[in-house]
Amino acid sequence: MAGSIPTPRPGGSMTHQEAVSRAIEIAGHVLAPAAADNDKAGRFSAEAVDALGRTGLLGLMLPAESGGAGLGPRTFAAVTATLAEADASVAMVYLMHALGAATIGSARSGATVGPVLADIAAGRHLSTLAFSEAGSRSHFWTPISRARRNGSGGVRITASKSWVTSASHAQSYIVSALSPEGVSPTDLTLYVVPAGAPGLSVAGPWDGLGLRANASAPMTLSDCEVPSELQITDDGAGFQAMMSIVLPLFNLGTAAVALGICRAAVQATAAHLKSARFEHLNQSLGESLPTLRAQLAAMQIDTEGLSARVDDLIDHLERPRDATMLRVLETKAAAGDTAIAVTSAAMRACGGAAFSKHTSIERFFRDAHAGAVMAPTGDVLREFIARIVLGMPLF
Amino acid sequence: MAGSIPTPRPGGSMTHQEAVSRAIEIAGHVLAPAAADNDKAGRFSAEAVDALGRTGLLGLMLPAESGGAGLGPRTFAAVTATLAEADASVAMVYLMHALGAATIGSARSGATVGPVLADIAAGRHLSTLAFSEAGSRSHFWTPISRARRNGSGGVRITASKSWVTSASHAQSYIVSALSPEGVSPTDLTLYVVPAGAPGLSVAGPWDGLGLRANASAPMTLSDCEVPSELQITDDGAGFQAMMSIVLPLFNLGTAAVALGICRAAVQATAAHLKSARFEHLNQSLGESLPTLRAQLAAMQIDTEGLSARVDDLIDHLERPRDATMLRVLETKAAAGDTAIAVTSAAMRACGGAAFSKHTSIERFFRDAHAGAVMAPTGDVLREFIARIVLGMPLF
Amino acid sequence: MAGSIPTPRPGGSMTHQEAVSRAIEIAGHVLAPAAADNDKAGRFSAEAVDALGRTGLLGLMLPAESGGAGLGPRTFAAVTATLAEADASVAMVYLMHALGAATIGSARSGATVGPVLADIAAGRHLSTLAFSEAGSRSHFWTPISRARRNGSGGVRITASKSWVTSASHAQSYIVSALSPEGVSPTDLTLYVVPAGAPGLSVAGPWDGLGLRANASAPMTLSDCEVPSELQITDDGAGFQAMMSIVLPLFNLGTAAVALGICRAAVQATAAHLKSARFEHLNQSLGESLPTLRAQLAAMQIDTEGLSARVDDLIDHLERPRDATMLRVLETKAAAGDTAIAVTSAAMRACGGAAFSKHTSIERFFRDAHAGAVMAPTGDVLREFIARIVLGMPLF
Amino acid sequence: MAGSIPTPRPGGSMTHQEAVSRAIEIAGHVLAPAAADNDKAGRFSAEAVDALGRTGLLGLMLPAESGGAGLGPRTFAAVTATLAEADASVAMVYLMHALGAATIGSARSGATVGPVLADIAAGRHLSTLAFSEAGSRSHFWTPISRARRNGSGGVRITASKSWVTSASHAQSYIVSALSPEGVSPTDLTLYVVPAGAPGLSVAGPWDGLGLRANASAPMTLSDCEVPSELQITDDGAGFQAMMSIVLPLFNLGTAAVALGICRAAVQATAAHLKSARFEHLNQSLGESLPTLRAQLAAMQIDTEGLSARVDDLIDHLERPRDATMLRVLETKAAAGDTAIAVTSAAMRACGGAAFSKHTSIERFFRDAHAGAVMAPTGDVLREFIARIVLGMPLF
């Protein structure tokens, strides 16, 4: 099926609209037909990654000099939401890759990341993040693991990473660890660890409520050696990279995933209310039941509100101002709640048909619960937001 | 494991406390160990039904003269909630059986139901309901199918039944159909159809979001012959039986299932908040996070509120008064919403641990969504309640 | 109007049903006709207190040997809810009096409270609590003020009390203060201070969103002398009295007030939906709008759920068991939320008619917000509940 | 105080930023100091209208050729939100005037509205709408009253109008009535009726829960003669004007009012949490209580979400597209709910301080409930939205 997607020009020259069109093509031809089966089987879609690579979308935000398309958060959000409308698991894989690529793309001058960037631009390299640890749970900004000097300029890392999206499918992992000589709990450094590195292994299968096809497994680093060239931030500069590069795009991206899920839920609910009928009344559910219409409307209202928020955040990222960090935090918190609210309403509105999997709604509903769970969680975001509003220190 | 349950005296002599104790035993030894696997595999627990039969619980509400324990709604609710705390799928199987048994037990004088009742009392017969139809969906009180006279006192029924719990596992099905000469859309009759009846067949597998182990498949009756002895209500009296026998017990039972799920969710959440730790803070989640404590408390408050409601409904069923039908309707509506609210809060409070199935919470969460879906749905209940409050006709 | 209430036998001999009947009489003849005007003017209803006194209801829970009716929490809750249905301000005055009377009634042996109890039983004495202080806000269990020995066995108290119900209308105030030699922040003592005591004064007018007719003003004690006979707990035993006597009855009473408000809101909403009409459709709002019916039903469901909770708490107070303190805490938390939810729904359902005060609903709505505000607040209650569930210390 | 506002250049030449600055000035110097007193007294602020007139803001959206500033919905929304932050009653007066002015400004060619427009531009004329009628309640698109030909080209109108903002303070009222020969229930015509017209009278005082200072009284037209020059739509074209001119601006304007209220509530809550202290803990409430911080954050999140929505709607009104009507409907529905949610959270977070009017929060809370009540109500909006999504006819 993926074969039906026209081979694009090299990624480097792509407009916003072209990128979105390619995402629509892939969503329709590669993602949608396989989403239900991949969800059921918990199967990672290598086909989807392949299609994203061939169409240049893996290099979407890399600068032109690295062979990327040089596009920004607006296109990234549109592509991610489009993918999520068909398969949120793939959208999350894409999102995590984009974060990895952006982190690598902003590597310190001493790092050697040219080949990796070239591979990403060429669509041959999928990256991802490996931040959260079992010991510090959702507080991803505070690793428990500490890198140790290996005597030849590099480090050795032993860590228990949880929730690594695309685990065993990515070509590289952005790994965080406390800096060898760091003193504060956020004095951390980032490294890019290639897939085949000795000591790096997937620690278990992935079996979640939702996003079942994104291979979010735990991974173990056991005395894993990382040479100096693959240290991508200066010692202790990892936290800053997390806050300035990863967090804004991650929050935008998860909001885009939530938006895609919400849109899919609205469409599926409307379709069900139009097609399902009370034979004894000779009416569709939608015609017969004002209270179901009210629920559908509430879903639509919430979905478009999230869309407006995403647009607003994009505007803030394109033209940063004082309130930008607040918007970054607010948007993910709202997106997580909105996706749950909208898909929960869809479950209610479609009742038994949704519950017994006659529609895709229960998949949207399960997938929707991932966003609120991924750190920074809603509780943490609200704590940060309140501290900013009250003028209290964040950490 | 079931072997460890002491063989009880014959069901006919059982106190409330004995019945609950037997349910606790079965829940702990038969249900709990297998619940996760049965959920995953969508496997019906014949072992559970066997244990319920051997301990006399299948005949719980049958009168002593039929060999039953002669117990009432109070014990039925307690047993059902106890089972649901360990495995809501089994609790729903039990509930549907109890409704079937109660319907058979109140059969019109012309019916021949003695042998079936004896088998139920002896723990050898599982019954269930087959009311809802594809054409009239959740409006179970309005079948599309109409029984036709077969010329020898009985009828032939052709119907497409949806959502038959214990499908292909029950020994009998209580089937509704429009009466042969009925005129109004609720002029229906009930029949008990034995499992092997020609023309009766399961129409597909069960694959739902929750209650995955209760075999809630659609069934087809294709020119299925039912002799006069198995017509258990008078012609057209099926609606009255639905309203006076089935509805009160069904609503009480689903509320009890919801209560069991809520209790399990509170316990699992408390256990998680006590055991999961932030290593970097050397605190449990519960000690560290006041906002999680607030969520746990809200769950506890809602759960005990549902418990108080169930007690209140039992009191109303034991001593019926004017408001009893309102309580019947209100309790199911509240129970469905409460189960969803409590388990949703548990999902939030336990975050990634719940999402990635490290606890049973996501099973409780999925199971909790069944209650609101089963007719009469929340929307229908609210419509009926408002009509009663406003003095408008119900149908 | 009050004159139409039949003079009862002396309070000492009153059944539950008689007490409720008297409350119904007073609610209908004294409270209901004046509630709207008293609310508007912020006028304390001396007539209501007079009627409550004459009918023996002020001595409801005092033991027969003190001349009281010797009735328990069940009757107290029913009377309070009945009053609240007509005027929540009066119900709150009654509630605070009942707490004061119960505290005085359980005075330490060294206190001289016989005359006060006799006056209460005779309906000539209204009491109330003065616990909360400006400095410790809602943490009423931690006064800032500390009693100082006056050299003749008594104490002098200087304190800034906030929110004293019936301020300047009560004959006595139960005042808390840190014990003269107390060390912990909850080492406090209770005193009964008569209305005319030198140094005791009302510190400002009452102008609240709701409960406008209950005179909840701040009060100041300025070097106020309290003789030993009016110290009603042993030194440092005030906290224990708060927890064992005041808290259970206060939480039950506020839940009863909330229940009365909810019932009034359901009735007023139903009445509006039946009487208000769309002339162009020739239908009442209730007939025309299924979504309004759904809101009315949700109100009814919530109200009856609160009723079941109140019954459950009464049962726990009559037969205390392990979970009783949890129920005490849960019930107030739930009641506060329920009253707000039900009256908010009433505001929505009745729209402009409610907003523009064509019904009493906006008064119920304003009054409903008092419960959640009165300490222990919902946040505090949830914190306590979670600590109990998690096995953490309460303070 | 109003005197401190610099006399602007004539309204006709004003930028967006100048308009907003003038609104900020007026809000700070005229509205804020008087808002609490006007609310308490239910007093209409003639000073505010005067200031709005003198600064050219009454002619904000009138075209330059009529002497207006020729500004659009973006400035209108910003000005309205700014006013609402200080006093929502004045903001609503302004909003209703803007709708009246826009309707007059788009009068049919046969109407004589030049003098009125000139007065508006000069700041000497306040207009408002008189649409809703007692008989058809919130269905303002279906008047009960019907204009009758007066034999000289004009009409006579007898109508019972409810909820006329600025009643008895405006210089003109835009009145709707069924067209003399209209056949459908929406076949209506609009007229501009000057304040002094014989037969036009205010039918009662205004005493509402909120927006107490906007004089929203009922008005009566009793055989009120309207000459042909003051018929501002063609016969039967009133409905179209309501939908295309009034509805978009009204929904935008009420959303802007809601936004201003939300912003005020966030600021007041943050201020309270920073200043109110637990003396015994030596901490502010905000420092002490994570659950209050969570509520403040939720308020902030909701407020900024509404802000994003308003921006999105403005963008749609500036560049209309297919979804624009949906956005018009969604935004008011969301705004009404958001204002209630945010101010309700503020009430909870500020507890007794808010309830006892030590902050302005309870005024914001009361005012917030106006939006959802004003037609089209939330229920009606959701019904329309669902019908659009489902492809069903709107009326």
pLDDT tens, residue by residue, B11-70: 468 999 999 999 999 999 999 999 999 999 999 999 999 999 999 999 999 999 999 999
pLDDT higher than threshold 60 for residue B289: yes
How close D381 gets to chain B, by Cα (Å)? 20
Cα–Cα distance for residue pair C334/D84, rounded to 1 Å: 34
Largest Cα–Cα separation, chain D? 80
Q: Which of A210, A347, A370 sits opposite B369 (nearest CB)?
A: A347
pLDDT of residue A4: 45
D87 to D163, D165, D212: CA distances (angstroms): 19, 15, 10
Spell out which residues of chain D touch residue B285, defining contact as CB-CB under 8 Å: none
For C233-255, what is the mean pLDDT? 97
CA distance C79 to chain B (A): 20
Give pLDDT, residue C334. Answer: 98
Say whether B379 and A289 touch across the interface (CB within 8 A). Answer: yes
Identify the closest residue of chain D to B293 by CA–CA distance.
D291
Determine, for residues D374 and C352 on separate chains, whether the beta-carbon distance falls below 8 Å: yes
Work out the pLDDT band at A357, boundaries 50, 70, 90.
Answer: confident
Q: Tell me, what's the pLDDT at A395?
A: 84
Mean pLDDT of C198-214: 94
Scanning C249-278 for CB atoms below 8 A from B yields 266, 270, 273-274
**CB < 8 Å to C301, chain B:** 330, 333-334, 382, 385
Q: What is the mean pLDDT of residues D31-53?
A: 98
The band of D204, judged by pLDDT with boundaries at 50, 70 and 90, is confident
Instruction: Return the sign of the alpha-carbon dihedral for residues A81, A83, A89, A90.
Output: negative
Question: What's the mean per-residue pLDDT of chain A?
Answer: 95
Render pLDDT for D238-262 as a digit per residue (tens, 0 to 9): 999 999 999 999 999 999 999 999 9
Chain C nearest-CA distance from D380, in A, is 10
**How many angstroms separate the CA of residue C326 from the nearest CA in chain B?**
9
Q: Is A386 on the interface with D (CB under 8 A)?
A: yes
The nearest alpha carbon in chain A to C293 belongs to A291
C276 neighbourhood in chain D, CB within 8 Å: 137
**What distance in Å separates residue A229's CA from the closest CA in chain D?**
41
Q: What is the pLDDT of residue D358?
A: 86
d(CA C107, CA C189): 11
Please name the residue of chain C whose CA is at the shortest distance from the CA of residue A291.
Answer: C291
Chain D: give the shortest CA distance to residue A265, in Å: 13
Q: Is the link from the previous residue into B376 a cis peptide, with omega within 30 of 0? A: yes
Query: pLDDT tens for residues C43-62?
Result: 999 999 999 999 999 999 99
* pTM of the entire predicted model: 0.96
CB contact (8 A) between residue A293 and residue D266: no
Q: Inform me whether the pLDDT recorded for D1 exceeds 50.
A: no
CB-based burial, B299-315: b 16+ in 10 Å, e otherwise: bbbbbbbbbbbbbbbbb
- Mean pLDDT calculated for residue range D58-73: 96
* Residue D12: predicted pLDDT: 60
Q: What is the pLDDT of residues B42-53, one digit of tens each?
A: 999 999 999 999
Output the pLDDT for position B12: 60
Query: What number is the average pLDDT over the span B226-248?
Result: 97
Mean pLDDT score, A228-253: 97
Shortest CB distance from D352 goes to which of C135, C136, C138?
C138
Output the average pLDDT for chain B: 95
Neighbours of chain A (3+ CB pairs under 8 A): B, C, D
What average pLDDT score do residues B170-189 get?
Answer: 97
> What would the mean pLDDT of C104-117 be, rounded to a whole number?
96
Closest among B363, B360, B355 to B212, alpha carbons compared: B363
Mean pLDDT of A251-257: 98
Using the beta-carbon criterion (under 8 Å), do A351 and B138 form an inter-chain contact?
A: yes
Nearest-by-CA chain A residue for C294: A291
Compute the mean pLDDT over every residue in chain D, rounded to the nearest whole number.
Answer: 95
Chain D residues near residue A290 by CB distance under 8 angstroms: 383
Res B1 pLDDT > 80: no
From chain B, the residues in CB contact with D348 under 8 A are: none
Positions of E strands within A253-353 = 277-278, 283-284
CA-wise closest residue to A377 among D176, C365, C72, B348: B348
Report CB contact under 8 Å: A308, D309.
Answer: yes
The beta-carbon neighbor of A382 closest among D298, D305, D379 is D298
CB B88 within 8 A of CB B370: yes
pLDDT over 70, % of chain B:
97
Interchain contact, B289 vs A135, CB within 8 Å: no
D79: closest CA of chain C, how far (Å): 26
pLDDT value for D4: 45
Q: For residue C335, give the H/E element and its range.
A: helix C324-355
Q: How far apart are CA B177 and CA C56, in angstroms?
A: 61
pLDDT of A358 reads: 86
Contacts of B375 in chain A (CB under 8 A): 352
Annotate C61-70 with b (16+ C-beta within 10 A) or e (fewer).
Answer: bbeeebbbbb
pLDDT, position C100: 98
Residue, of B357 and C366, whose pLDDT is higher: C366
Q: What is the least distance, in Å, from the CA of B25 to any CA of chain A? A: 30
Q: What is the pLDDT, as a whole number, of residue A12? A: 60
Mean predicted confidence (pLDDT) in B376-380: 94
Instruction: Return the pLDDT at C1.
Output: 35
What pLDDT does D2 receive? 37
Sign of CA dihedral A338, A342, A348, A352: negative
pLDDT average, residue stretch A43-51: 98
Mean pLDDT of C61-66: 95
Looking at chain C, the whole-number percentage of residues with pLDDT higher than 90 is: 93
Interface of A with B in 207-236 (CB under 8 A): 207-210, 216
Cis geometry, peptide bond prior to residue C376 (ω within 30 degrees of 0)? yes
pLDDT in tens, D360-394: 999 999 999 999 889 999 999 999 999 999 999 99
Residues 276-305 of A with CB under 8 A from B: 276, 278-280, 285, 289, 291-292
- Look at residue B173 and tell me whether its pLDDT is greater than 50: yes
What is the mean pLDDT of the segment spanning A108-133?
96
Q: Find the mean pLDDT for residues D343-364.
A: 94
Contacts of A344 in chain B (CB under 8 A): 340, 344
